[in-house]
Amino acid sequence: MSQLTQFQRSLQLGEIYPKNPNAQLSALPPRLRLLNWNIERGYAPEQLLAYIREVNPDILCLQELDWGNQRTKELDVTDYLARELGLVGYFGIEFFELETPERGPALAGGGVHGNAILTRLAPRAVYRIELPPLLDWEQLPAGLPPDRLAISSWCWAAD
């Protein structure tokens, strides 16, 4: 039976966790550079860091970051990126990743999984909005073959 780790019990869903809060912030540039990226837990953080440095965004919106999970060597991925890039970061927990002997090292949990915003700009406010669930994730896989799960998504942006 899986239980929350001591680390997980120290955290709260719904909280925003600041990272590198003393970073040197910049004024709003004439052209804003934004990078939005699902980084799949934060495997290979050095490679992520190299690409982010190449793009050099003013605002970085990241999805699926690990914090304290065995599979990513218990790294706080948001904090690592914020410090290495000299940005301030804000992390919100999406869910607790349970520690269980049924998972191999590439999937081992024990920490949390969530989303983050990193920026070189001073935000006016930082808050989290919990969106209502559109899918019952526990029931969704029941009708699918055990080795496949396909999710379709789309994004619209105004010019």
pLDDT digits (tens, 9 = 90+) for 99-156: 888 888 878 888 999 999 999 999 888 988 877 777 776 666 565 555 544 444 444 4
- Please check whether residue 8 is in contact with residue 112, taking contact to mean a CB–CB distance below 8 angstroms: yes
Residue 125 has a CB neighbour count (10 Å cut-off) of: 4
Dihedral pair phi/psi, residue 85, rounded to 5°: -95, -10
Beta-carbon count within 10 A of 115 CB: 17
- How would DSSP label each residue in 52-75? HHHH--SEEEEEEEEES-GGGTT-
Q: What is the average pLDDT across 20-40?
A: 93
Question: How far apart, in whole angstroms, are the C-alpha atoms of residue 47 and residue 123?
Answer: 27
Render pLDDT for 42-79 as a digit per residue (tens, 0 to 9).
Answer: 989 999 999 999 999 999 999 999 999 989 999 999 99
Q: Write down the pLDDT at residue 132.
A: 76
**What sign does the dihedral 4-138-130-78 (CA atoms) show?**
positive
